[in-house]
Chain A
Amino acid sequence: MNKKGQEEMVGFVMIVIIVAVVFLILLGIFLRQEPSASEADSVEVTQFLESIMGYTSSCAVSYEPAYSSVGELIEECYRGKKCVGGEDSCEVLEQTVRDILGSGWEIGEEFYYKGYEFKIVGSEETILEISNGNCENEFIGSEYLIPGDFVSSLKLCL
């Protein structure tokens, strides 16, 4: 009877182990396949970045009215050039992008997007970094390649 009881217990333990293993495998598959919201790529953000790069800034490097677009201004900033009016191209770039971001998205605790992170990166260094609001949770975002080996990216945090 004692031996039989032991056999029953071994059987029970084996069943529990099998069930636990199967459950863990299913859980692993589920966690691996579910796309994370933090990695979601957004067409809207790509379109927004593309529009920003086409915006005509108030900075002309050679003569007025040959004003640079934001895309061109990134390269001017990288090369440390000044506008005809004497302003620093990087300052104009930052102010312009900041203003466009402020107009393009409603950001705040009461809105759908709680914050954003905008970045322009060159081959070696970060050229511009602007952030606003709370960006601790999930986000949608996208990257946009700019001629001259620059990459702009925007994350909108939920």
Chain B
Amino acid sequence: MDKKGQMKIQQMAFVLVAMMVFFAMVALVYFSIRMSGLESSAVSLEEEKAKELVKKISSSAEFAFGVTDCPNCIDLDKVLILSERKSYEGFWQLDYLEVERIYPYGEGICDRTNYPDCKSIKIIDSENYGSAVSAFVSLCRWESSKDGYFKCEVGRIIASGEGLRNE
């Protein structure tokens, strides 16, 4: 009877240990999946934050289009002049800052000879810069044809550097 009792206790102990191991494994699988999900959502949050920061740069006085109430608009005429002024290079603590026209399609780096029929304006262009972040914006400018009017196109602002992380 004593031996049988010991056997019973042993059986119960084995079952308990097996159950503990099983629950531990389930918990491990569950938390590993949850952690990987958290990691990817943290990365996407970081990316989205960077995009918002790029957008913030575009709403600064040096870029903003003040003719209409348009928080998403960049004054492309201002940007062209800004790209010619080297004194702004350290202003935003960025290694790279570019405004690119997406639609309508253009080719080449913009300067006074080919503007506005060009693709991009580089404001800051260091040789070594990290991964860049971009945000879609409206590129507005004065169009002199047909008596003149303000024309907005689709583009993006691309930036990289410390300024994006320190904001």
Contacts and interface: CB of A to CB of B under 8 A. Distances in A.
Interface of A: 15, 19, 22-23, 26, 30, 33-35, 40, 43-44, 47-48, 50-52, 54-56, 64-67, 69, 99-100, 103-104
Given A19-B19, A23-B26, A47-B72, 7 more contacts: A43-B48, A44-B48, A54-B70, A56-B149, A65-B143, A103-B103, A104-B102
Contacts of A48: 136
Interface of B: 15, 19, 22-23, 26, 30, 33-34, 37, 41, 44, 48, 51-52, 55, 70, 72-73, 102-105, 135-138, 140, 143, 145-155
B105 A103 contact: yes
A34 B40 CA distance: 12
Contacts of A69: 152
Interface pairs A-B: 4 shortest CB-CB:
A54-B138, A65-B149, A47-B136, A103-B103
B17 to A, nearest CB: 13
Contact of B15 (A15, A23, A47, A54): A15
19 contacts: A22-B26, A26-B26, A34-B37, A44-B136, A47-B51, A47-B55, A51-B72, A52-B154, A54-B72, A65-B143, A66-B149, A99-B103, A99-B104, A100-B102, A100-B103, A103-B105, A104-B102, A104-B136, A104-B154
B147 A55 contact: no
Contact of A55 (B23, B44, B143, B153): B153
A48 B72 CA distance: 10
A103 B153 CA distance: 12
Given A35-B41, A65-B149, A104-B154, A55 B26 contact: no
B138 A55 contact: yes
Given A15-B19, A34-B37, A54 B152 contact: yes
A140 to B, nearest CB: 9
Contacts of A52: 154
A43 B53 CA distance: 12
A76 B19 CA distance: 68
Contacts of A44: 48, 51, 135-136
Given A30-B30, A103-B102, A104-B102, A50 B136 contact: yes
Contact of B22 (A19, A30, A99): A19
A50 B55 CA distance: 12
A157 to B, nearest CB: 17
A15 B154 CA distance: 64
Contacts of A65: 143, 145-149
A54 to B, nearest CB: 4
A103 B34 CA distance: 37
Given A23-B26, A43-B52, A65-B149, A103 B137 contact: no
B3 to A, nearest CB: 15
A100 B151 contact: no
